[in-house]
Amino acid sequence: MALKRFTIYDLIIIAVMAALGIALKPIIVAAVHIVSTPLMLPGGSLAGGLYMMWLVLAFAITRKAGTGTLVGLVQAIMIMLLPIPGSHGAMSLISYTAPGIALDALMLLMLGLARRDFDRLAAFLGGLVTNLAGTLMTNVIFMKLPAIPLAVALCAASLSGGLGGLIAWGLYKVIKKYRLVRNR
């Protein structure tokens, strides 16, 4: 029933963004670890903004509640079924879906209740919240970092997520300029 509000176009966008996030994650993480490891910064938290941006971009294109959750759910299913690094087994359902739920909740508050349009601030905060949720869930489920390293990881996740949201906003503006998205 919940899927009825999504068109075929929306579902294709959701599937493509989920696939891009999963396909690019190992490349992004490896590249970020080259920089983060010598600086003793949390690599996953820093890299997260660059692969969480696909959730923000999917929402920017569809503008429908539940988009972030569906992207995260599709990613969780893909990561569990395909031989891709980064699977946490059944816990992937939580660790990959939580960022999408956080994005949807934020967009409901910002855009639904406040009657705002999706703008650069919404994209920045969307990226920030998705990466914070992903980092926090990964810590709660797997890492269990002490307070100070967790605070550093969450700060890195906030910065990276916000920047990822701005990149998603930039990509959205480009694909909108070339009329690759439907007009709203």
Domain extent, residue 154, equals 2-177
Judged against a pLDDT cut of 70, whether residue 125 lies above it is answered with yes
Judged against a pLDDT cut of 80, whether residue 84 lies above it is answered with no
Q: What is the mean pLDDT of residues 148-177?
A: 94
Q: Which residue has the higher pLDDT, 78 or 90?
A: 78
Residue 184, domain member (yes or no): no
Judged against a pLDDT cut of 80, whether residue 25 lies above it is answered with yes
Residue 100, domain member (yes or no): yes
Residue 109, domain member (yes or no): yes
The pLDDT score that the predictor gives to residue 120 is 94
The pLDDT score that the predictor gives to residue 92 is 87
Residue 104, domain member (yes or no): yes
3-state SS, the chain, equals CHHHHCCHHHHHHHHHHHHHHHHHHHHHHHHHHHHHCCCCCCHHHHHHHHHHHHHHHHHHHHCCCCHHHHHHHHHHHHHHHCCCCCCECECHHHHHHHHHHHHHHHHHHHHHHCCCCCCHHHHHHHHHHHHHHHHHHHHHHHHCCCHHHHHHHHHHHHHHHHHHHHHHHHHHHHHHHCCCCCCC
Residue 182, domain member (yes or no): no
Domain CATH for 23? 1.10.1760
Residue 183, domain member (yes or no): no
Judged against a pLDDT cut of 90, whether residue 115 lies above it is answered with no
* Band of residue 18 on the pLDDT scale cut at 50, 70, 90: very high
Q: Which pTM does this prediction carry?
A: 0.91
Query: pLDDT tens digits for 29-47?
Result: 888 888 888 877 777 888 8
Q: Considering its fold, how many domains does the chain have in total?
A: 1
